[in-house]
Amino acid sequence: MLRFLFSFNGQIDRRQYLPAALPAFLAQTVYVLAVLVSLQRTDEVFKPGFIFNPVRSLIGIASNEVTLGGLALLILSTWIILALTLKRLRHAGASLSLAALAIMPMLQLPVILVLAARGRLGGQAGLRPQVDDPDRGEDDVKLRAMLVGAIAGVTFCVGASVLATLAFRTYGWGVFVVTPVLTGIIAGYIARRRTDFSAMDTAGIAVSSVFISGLALLGLAIEGIICLAMSVPLMMALAVIGGWIGHAAAVTMGGPRTTLSAMAMLPIVMLVEVVLPPESRFVSSESIEVAASADDVWRSITNMGVIDDPPAAPFGWGLAYPIAGEIDGEGVGAIRRGVFSTGEAFEQVTVWDPGRELTFDVLSNPPALKELSPYEHVHAPHLAEYFTTAYAKFTITPVAEGRVRLTLETAHELNLEPAVYWAPIAQWAIQANKIRVLEHFARLAETGAGN
C-alpha cells in the first residue's frame, strides 16, 4: 500500500486514482477544519480559495506548532497526489510534466477531478530512448547529455524567472514552486533521453540547473544574494522532484511534448496568480516586563532616540531593522518617522493615551531588505512591494508596584507564495526586531534616559 501511494513508478486507471488521490487532498481540509473549529474561526471557511488551499488559512491564526503540523500534512498529501498523478498520466498516455500542476495546492483538486473524469489523454507510451551515438565513448555521451540537459534547464529557469518577476510581477507558486519543478523536468528529461542516467543522476542535473540559474539571475541583477539564499531549500528540493519526473518521462515516453508542455504550462500558472494575487495577513505580538513606572515607559516610547545596539545576523547583512524614531507633535494625528536600515517609514498616531496605549497606522513602508549584490542596484520588485506593515500598537499594563508589561502588536501583509514557507521566515524576522525595540525602550525607561 505504501509503495502504491508514494512510488513514482507504475500506472493506475481513473477508477484507482480518485479513491486514493481525493482522500489525500481532503485530509488537509479535515485537519484545518478541526483547528478552525477549536479556535472558533470557522469564518475562514467562507473566504475565497479555502476549498482549494485550506492550509493557507492557518497562517496568522493558529500557533506555530499547529501551522507546522498543517505544513507537514500538506507536504505529505502533495507527495501522494504527485505520485498518483504521475501513475495516472502514464496510464492515460499524457505528458508527465503535467504532474507539476499537482504540486500547487490551489490546483490539486481540479487536477484530481479532471484526471478522474477523463480516459486516455494522449497517445501510447513510447519505449525507452537509446543513447544518441553508440560510437562515442560512454563518458563522452554522458557528459554531452548532462551539458545539453543543464543548458536547457538553465535557459528555461532564467527565462521563466525574468518573465514572472519583471513581466507578470508575481512572486508566488509560479516562480518559487512550478519553475524549479519544470526546470528539473526539462533538464532531467533531455539528459535522460540521450543516455542511461539513473534517477539520482537526473536529480543532480536538475539541482545544478537551478543553482546555475540563481547565479545567472545574480549576474543579471534580477535577484540578490539574500532572496536567493532564503529560497534555496525550497527550490532545490523541488528541482529534485522535477528531475525524477523528467527521468520517468524520458524512460516511458518519446518525442518533444514533455518539454513543450512544461514550457507552455508556466504562463498559465502566472496568469492565474495575476488574477488571484497572493495575500496573507497576520498579527504579531511580543511583550517585555519593565522595572519602571507606566509614565517612564510612556516617555521612552514617545522619545525613542537611536538604538545603539547592533542587530544580530542576518539583519546586518541586508534584512531591514529599526535604527531610530521620532514623533512630530502630540496626540491623535501626530506623525511618527521611523528610520530603518533600508529606508524610512512614516506613521500617523490614531490612539494617544498617555501611560496606557500608543497606536499608529503605517502610511509608508521601507523596503523589507536591501539585497547583497555585485551591483549597486538590483531590479527586484519584491524589495518594496511584497511585505508591508499596517499598524503598530504599544500597550502599557501594570503588573506590580514599579513594574509594567510593555506589549508591541503589529499587523502585516505578505504577498508571497507559498505562504506556508515564507510566513515563518517573516514572523521570525518580525519577532527579532520587536524584541530588540522593546529591550531598547526598557533600558530607556529603567535608566531614565527617555525623560
Same domain, 302 and 442: yes
Please indicate whether residue 277 or residue 236 has the higher confidence score (pLDDT): 236
**Would you place residue 387 in the very low, low, confident or very high pLDDT band (cuts 50, 70, 90)?**
confident
Residues 258 and 302 in one domain: no
Last residue of a domain, one of 262, 277, 292: 277
Same structural domain, 119 and 169 = no
Q: What is the mean pLDDT of the chain?
A: 85
Amino acid identity of residue 171, one-letter, is Y
| CA proximity to 394, closest of 433, 356, 445, 443 | 356
Bridge partners of 389, per DSSP, are 412
Across the strands, what pairs with 398? 404
Alpha-carbon distance of 180 to 186, in angstroms, equals: 10
Q: How many domains does the chain have?
A: 3
Query: Residue 426 contacts by C-beta under 8 Å, 6 or more apart in sequence?
Result: 387, 412, 414
Of 238, 261, 277, the position where a domain reaches its end is: 277
The answer to whether residue 135 scores a pLDDT higher than 60 is no
Band of the pLDDT at 143, cuts 50, 70, 90? confident
3-class DSSP assignment, residue 341: coil
CATH number, domain with residue 330: 3.30.530.20
Q: Is 55 helix (H, G, I), strand (E, B) or coil?
A: helix
Residue 313: is it exposed, middle or buried by C-beta count within 10 angstroms (0-12/13-18/19+)?
exposed
Q: Same domain for 437 and 288?
A: yes
pLDDT in tens, 332-378: 999 999 999 889 999 999 999 999 999 999 999 988 887 666 666 66
State mean pLDDT over 263-291. 83
| Interatomic CA distance for residues 27 and 31, integer angstroms | 6
Q: How far is the C-alpha of 403 from the C-alpha of 290, rounded, in Å? A: 6
Which residues span the domain enclosing 99? 1-125
Same domain (yes/no): 89, 142: no
What pLDDT does residue 137 have? Answer: 55
Which strands, in side-by-side order, build the sheet including 322-328?
Answer: 280-290, 403-414, 387-400, 357-364, 343-353, 335-340, 322-328, 305-306
Which stretch of 6-20, 28-42, 241-255 has the lowest confidence by average pLDDT? 241-255
Give the distance from CA 185 to its chain's centroid.
21
Residues 1 and 115 in one domain: yes
Q: Which of 227, 251, 277 is the last residue of a domain?
A: 277
The whole-number pLDDT of residue 119 equals 66
Domain shared by 49 and 183, yes or no: no
321 Cβ contact partners less than 8 Å away, ≥ 6 residues apart: 311, 315, 340, 341, 433, 436
What pLDDT is attached to residue 130? Answer: 44
What pLDDT score was predicted for residue 378?
66
Give mean pLDDT, residues 189-217: 89
Residue 128: per-residue pLDDT: 45
Confidence of residue 203 (pLDDT cuts 50, 70, 90): very high
**Closest alpha carbon to 331 in 294, 359, 306:** 359
What average pLDDT does this structure show over 375-389? 71
Q: Are residues 35 and 67 in the same domain?
A: yes
Give the model confidence (pLDDT) of 418-429 as tens digits.
Answer: 888 888 888 888
pLDDT value at residue 23:
94
Residues 77 and 94 reside in one and the same domain: yes
Q: Is the domain of 204 the same as that of 57?
A: no
pTM: 0.77
